[in-house]
Amino acid sequence: MTQSRNQVIYAASGEAARNKKSIFLAGSISHDDSHNWRNVLTTSLSDLSITIYNPHRPDWDSSWDEDIEYTPFREQVEWELEKQEVADIIVVYFHPATKAPISLLELGLCARVPGKALVVCPPGYWKRGNVQVVCKRFGMQMVESNDELKRVLAVKLGLSASCNVAQD
């Protein structure tokens, strides 16, 4: 088995990036979905020398107050905002089984930075039309699957990659 070349940094780690190129994985989390798009993508990118900022936190507690005064929540959001700023590309994924209001917010934050976002919005996402219009208006590339996503990411990052991505 080949060793992974990518580096994955999870929230709220202070670990330093080892690679020159990086991506942030913004987007939906579907708790009733057996397909974890972040894991599938991270595995498919194991042959690339990139740093992947993954906001997933195994110790996340849904009972946390979503308030600036609640330290664990504030630190999570601040970590995500900081990593989105430093990442070369923000992948924003809209899972059809979710509403994803925070993902829509993240899309809006990076819309005005040319080339920053790469959007995955499969058919079936409830606000797909809005996402399509925003992507077109602000010149953001939108794809419909993980298979397309890996190919486009490799090109945008100027890295070579074999396309061993699991089908959606």
What would the pLDDT profile of 8-63 be if each residue is shown by its tens digit? Answer: 999 999 999 999 999 999 998 766 556 788 998 999 889 889 999 999 988 888 89
Q: What pLDDT is attached to residue 69?
A: 97
Q: What pLDDT is attached to residue 167?
A: 37
Choose among 29, 8, 30, 5: nearest CA to 17: 8
Cα separation, 122 vs 168, whole angstroms: 10
CATH topology of domain 7-156: Rossmann fold (3.40.50)
**Phi (first) and psi of residue 43, to 5 degrees:** -65, -40
Q: What pLDDT is attached to residue 72?
A: 93
Q: Where along the chain do its domains lie?
A: 7-156
